[in-house]
């Protein structure tokens, strides 16, 4: 009898132990879900490159873009037409842009337009699927976008001090977005804004200090004079900063536009890059008291109502 009791106790102890083990392994499984599966995408720029994973999962992804360089950058996700890769960008897209920009710098707008005319037909089929807005040196931008499977080019076309594109100096990376999807649900916004070619940037909520998740609803999209569409950039500015210098800078077609150095007195805090009409995305910011402007990277943003000022007390 005593022997059976002992045996029973032993069995109980052992089965408890194995249950514990099972729980432990379940816990480990939870811990082992990779950041990419959770939709957490870290991107780093140290000078003129994108350091990040080569393959992402489809669905909602939060791009956490750390700018450790000395220049302003952004991150834009271009969904390429099937069959086109970074080799095609390098052979067909960069040369017309390099030639066109060089001519703009020389003040030869007519031949610049002719150079951009050499862009291949498939260039028009690229879909811009969002990304971060402009982000100042030593800052981190956080934007959440929905990525469908396909071949993407991650790019930044800000210009260097000499007027040459960042894209032509390494800020061009091919990314495969796989069929397998992330587990990320879209975040709950604290503020919503609409952006359109007709009404510009329209805030739906009041803005207060602290951590904010801003939803950006692209009601429509269109190709402006600079061959691309509208986006949303959040910029904090000093009392003495000239908004006109910012508006001028936010147009890459100006020889000094979108080119280092960025205008004085402005800190770029990210935002949402170009999305197709009907799409939405999110970006996260921690707002401290100060003056702010939401602005699109388009020619004469103020005349298009693609500029919205506010302040945090
Ligand atoms: Cu850049």
| pLDDT mean over 216-224 | 97
Q: What is the pTM of this model?
A: 0.89
Please check the confidence at residue 22 and state whether its pLDDT lies above 80. no
Quote the ligand 1 centre to 74 CA distance (angstroms).
Answer: 6
Predicted local distance difference test score (pLDDT) of residue 16: 47
Please check the confidence at residue 187 and state whether its pLDDT lies above 60. yes
| pLDDT mean over 282-306 | 98
Please check the confidence at residue 172 and state whether its pLDDT lies above 90. yes
Predicted local distance difference test score (pLDDT) of residue 274: 98
Report the chain's mean pLDDT, rounded to a whole number. Answer: 92
What is the number of residues in the chain?
A: 313
Q: Report, at the CATH architecture level, how domain 40-80+126-312 is classified.
A: Sandwich (2.60)
- Scan for tokens 């210009």, then name that residue: 159
Contact predicate 96/103, CB 8 Å:
no
Quote the ligand 1 centre to 156 CA distance (angstroms).
Answer: 4
Quote the ligand 1 centre to 50 CA distance (angstroms).
Answer: 9
**What tokens were used for 139?**
């800052």
Predicted local distance difference test score (pLDDT) of residue 2: 54
Predicted local distance difference test score (pLDDT) of residue 32: 82
Residues 6+ apart with CB under 8 A from 9: none
Q: Which residues crowd ion ligand 1, with CB under 5 Å?
A: 73, 156, 158, 166, 171
Per-residue pLDDT reduced to its tens digit, 44-97: 999 999 999 999 999 999 999 999 999 999 999 999 999 999 999 999 999 999
Quote the ligand 1 centre to 130 CA distance (angstroms).
Answer: 15
Quote the ligand 1 centre to 14 CA distance (angstroms).
Answer: 60
Predicted local distance difference test score (pLDDT) of residue 31: 63
Quote the ligand 1 centre to 72 CA distance (angstroms).
Answer: 6
Predicted local distance difference test score (pLDDT) of residue 19: 47
């Amino acid at each position: 009898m005593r022997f059976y009791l002992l045996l029973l106790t032993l069995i109980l102890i052992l089965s408890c132990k194995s249950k514990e083990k099972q729980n432990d392994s379940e816990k480990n499984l939870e811990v082992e879900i990779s950041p990419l599966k959770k939709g957490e995408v870290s991107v780093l720029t140290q000078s003129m490159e994108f350091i990040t994973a080569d393959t992402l999962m489809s669905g909602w992804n939060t791009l956490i873009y750390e700018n450790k360089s000395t220049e302003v950058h952004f991150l834009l996700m271009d969904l390429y037409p099937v069959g086109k890769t970074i080799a095609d960008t390098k052979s067909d897209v960069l040369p017309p842009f390099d030639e066109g920009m060089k001519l703009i710098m020389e003040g030869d707008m007519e031949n610049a337009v002719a150079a951009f005319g050499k862009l291949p037909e498939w260039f028009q089929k690229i879909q811009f699927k969002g990304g971060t807005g402009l982000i100042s040196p030593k800052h981190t931008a956080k934007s959440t976008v929905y990525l469908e499977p396909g071949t993407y080019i991650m790019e930044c076309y800000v210009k260097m001090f000499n007027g040459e594109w960042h894209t032509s100096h390494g800020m061009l990376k091919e990314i495969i977005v796989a069929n397998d999807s992330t587990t990320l649900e879209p975040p709950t916004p604290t503020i919503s804004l609409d952006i359109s070619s007709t009404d510009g940037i329209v805030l739906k909520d009041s803005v207060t200090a602290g951590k904010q998740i801003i939803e950006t609803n692209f009601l429509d999209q269109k190709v402006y004079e600079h061959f691309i569409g509208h986006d949303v950039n959040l910029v904090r500015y000093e009392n003495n900063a000239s908004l006109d210098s910012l508006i001028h800078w936010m147009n890459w077609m100006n020889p000094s536009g979108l080119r280092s150095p960025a205008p004085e007195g402005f800190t770029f805090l990210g935002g949402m890059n170009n999305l197709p009409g009907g799409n939405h995305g999110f970006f996260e910011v921690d707002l401290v008291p100060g003056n702010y402007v939401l602005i699109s990277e388009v020619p004469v943003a103020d005349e298009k109502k693609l500029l919205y000022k506010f302040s945090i007390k």
